[in-house]
Amino acid sequence: MTNSGYDDDLQQIRDSVLKLCSGFGDNYWLERDRTATFPEDFYRAIADAGWLGIAMPEALGGAGLGIREAAVLMQAIAESGAAMSGASAVHMNIFGLQPVVVCGTAARKKPASR
């Protein structure tokens, strides 16, 4: 464990997410708030970095990590300056499919073809 209370893997997730979020400063989030617009650039950066699938099994196209890792990801987003605007933009994509992972039929779990 590190002094932060995170093991090395969790600390690496946290550091990587904070680094990505540093590209979206206060002015970015203020503009999203003022215009009531979805943070599309932020969402795309999180998606392109592969973070949306953090808690999904690898067999379903995810990273195969867990809810603990996803919680560290969300905490880093929220404390980066993105606050709830940033966390809310990706929350459903990270946690919303867990019922399908746990309870879904094989057909429901089949990745969509592109």
Spatial CA neighbour of 42 closest among 98, 95, 81, 1: 81
Q: Token match 């990801």: residue?
A: 73
**Residue 58 maps to a domain:** yes
**Residue 30 maps to a domain:** yes
**Residue 2 maps to a domain:** no
Residue ranges, the chain, pLDDT below 50: 1-2
pLDDT at 114: 56
pLDDT at 112: 67
The SS3 call for residue 9 is helix
Q: 48: domain CATH number?
A: 1.10.540.10
DSSP of 26-55: HHHHHHHHHHT---HHHHHHHHHTTGGGTT
Angle between the 67-77 and 8-21 helix axes, to the nearest 10 degrees? 30
pLDDT at 85: 92
Model confidence pTM above 0.85? no
pLDDT at 4: 62
pLDDT at 56: 87
Total count of domains within the chain: 1
